[in-house]
Amino acid sequence: MRNPKWAVVAAAAVTVFALSGCVASASDVASTPPTPSTTALDPELPAQLDAALDEGFAASGMPGVVVGLWIPGQDEWVATRGVSDLASNLPIDRANQSKIGSVTKTLVGTVALQVIGDGAAGLTLDDTIDEWYPDFPLANEITVRMLMNMSSGIGSPGQTQLDRICADPYSTITPDEMIAIGAATPRADFAPGQGDNYSGYNTFLLGRILEHTTGTDLSTLIDEHLLEPLEMTRSRFAPDGVLAEPLNHGYSEFCPGLPQPTDTTDWANHEAWAAGAMLSTIDDLHTWGLALGEGYGLTPEMRAARIDDLAPGTTDAGYGYGLGVSVHIDPDSGCLLDLNHSGAEPGYGAHVHYFEGSGAVFALIGNGDGGTGEEFFKIVKALLPVLPTSVAATSSTACLD
């Protein structure tokens, strides 16, 4: 799906839009009562987070958003703004299920690393894709590792995919049909493994290769490897796009020929499949953030590979794409700072962030795209600088100790 690789420290400059009926002034904060195993947050932090959320939410123009911060040993902070449904003005709620877009890639990538680490399927990071897709351009040079760290050079879906979705929001296009479109898409201007180009076609190929090698469909693999053992009961791999109540209606301005905004709640997710067809809630994203950060179910080798095998072209700021996840490395010390990923589907945005030093998780779910798919990031950008360095370190030498 339309989902650029966002760096945590900057977002593209985009035009702010305002939706009529959006209840931006409401401030609903839900938090779990203190338990013997937790301590209260620094009393200044919730107020600072609320103020930053107000600012970011107003700038985003989204109908509604729910965000959460979980710091080990401390009370949670979960806050909502706005509405889940413009027609009814029903307030957004933490229980609501949403489409989370390309955060899906982190689940598919983790399943792949589990399968590779287990060894039973015979799949390795260095297998070339010609074994399964011999007619794909440069298939004998593109490896599974390159699919996972976005270094294959396969072209990005771009505007043509969005045009297809706008023309047929209920398309049932198959993964192999999408892969064929990817094969016909012009490549990035570098040889396989020699650059960095974010493309969902990589994850389509990875998902189908997992199905071929395990003999199990991708939905079942995600269920059995992640959702069931982690008890993520409100999450689902859903190419059909069908959300379960309670849910957030999605509102998109991607399609100029449709009403602005358009309710996308019942749109299909076949165009997203392995690259973006997950549904989830803010609490399940908290669970997933912890599992992602801790390398759930991964061998030590695979846990290290997802961080170390960055695509060439990592920026001076230390951001790169590892095996299925965005990675932030302190360029001075070489220490891991955080793992994160964002996602956007028409009408929806999501973000999940794990901070290595503190083990804290930050997550967001929103229900508008503003025609850019990046509006939710105005909230992320407003909130992250408020986090104390004890939670979200900007530099670290901890891994050198």
64 within domain boundaries:
yes
Task: Give the pLDDT of the chain (401 residues) as one tens digit per residue.
Answer: 433 333 333 332 222 222 222 222 223 434 344 445 689 999 999 999 999 999 999 999 999 999 999 999 999 999 999 999 999 999 999 999 999 999 999 999 999 999 999 999 999 999 999 999 999 999 999 999 999 999 999 999 999 999 999 999 999 999 999 999 999 999 999 999 999 999 999 999 999 999 999 999 999 999 999 999 999 999 999 999 999 999 999 999 999 999 999 999 999 999 999 999 999 999 999 999 999 999 999 999 999 999 999 999 766 578 899 999 999 999 888 899 999 999 999 999 999 999 999 999 999 999 999 999 999 999 999 999 999 999 999 888 767 65
The DSSP bridge partners found for residue 236 are 279
The token duo for 116 is 């590779």
DSSP state letter for 166: H
236 within domain boundaries:
yes
- HSE value, Cβ hemisphere, 13 Å, CA-based, for 82: 33
Residue 398 confidence (pLDDT): 66
Residue 12 confidence (pLDDT): 26
| CB atoms inside a 10 Å sphere around CB 262 | 19
Domains: count for the chain: 1
DSSP string spanning 322-387? -SSSEEEE-TTT--EEEEEEEEEETTEEEEEEEETTT--EEEEEESB-TTTT-TTHHHHHHHGGGS
Which residue range forms the structural domain that includes residue 238? 28-400
Using alpha carbons, list the distances in angstroms from residue 130 to 124, 126, 133, 141: 14, 12, 5, 8
Using alpha carbons, list the distances in angstroms from residue 344 to 35, 279, 368: 35, 12, 9
320 within domain boundaries:
yes
What per-residue string of b and e applies to 102-121 under the rule 16 or more CB within 10 Å gives b? bbbbbbbbbbbbbbbbeeee
Nearest to 157 by CA among 266, 4, 328: 4
Residue 63 confidence (pLDDT): 98
7 within domain boundaries:
no
Residue 314 confidence (pLDDT): 65
pTM listed for this prediction = 0.91
284 within domain boundaries:
yes
Using alpha carbons, list the distances in angstroms from residue 25 to 19, 57, 63, 65, 144: 13, 10, 11, 12, 47
Contact 377/6 with Cβ under 8 angstroms?
A: yes
What CATH number is associated with residue 153? Answer: 3.40.710.10
Distance CA 366, CA 371 (A): 14
| CB atoms inside a 10 Å sphere around CB 259 | 10
DSSP string spanning 25-88? T--EEE-PPP-TT-BPPPTHHHHHHHHHHHHHHHHH--SEEEEEEE-TTB--EEEEEEEEETTT
Contact 374/101 with Cβ under 8 angstroms?
A: no
Residue 208 confidence (pLDDT): 98
Nearest to 46 by CA among 91, 79, 95: 79
Q: Which residues contact 57 (CB under 8 A, 6 or more apart)?
A: 24, 65, 81, 82, 379
Residue 315 confidence (pLDDT): 60
1 within domain boundaries:
no
127 within domain boundaries:
yes
Residue 332 confidence (pLDDT): 86
Residue 203 confidence (pLDDT): 98
Residue 16 confidence (pLDDT): 23
228 within domain boundaries:
yes
Distance CA 129, CA 239 (A): 24
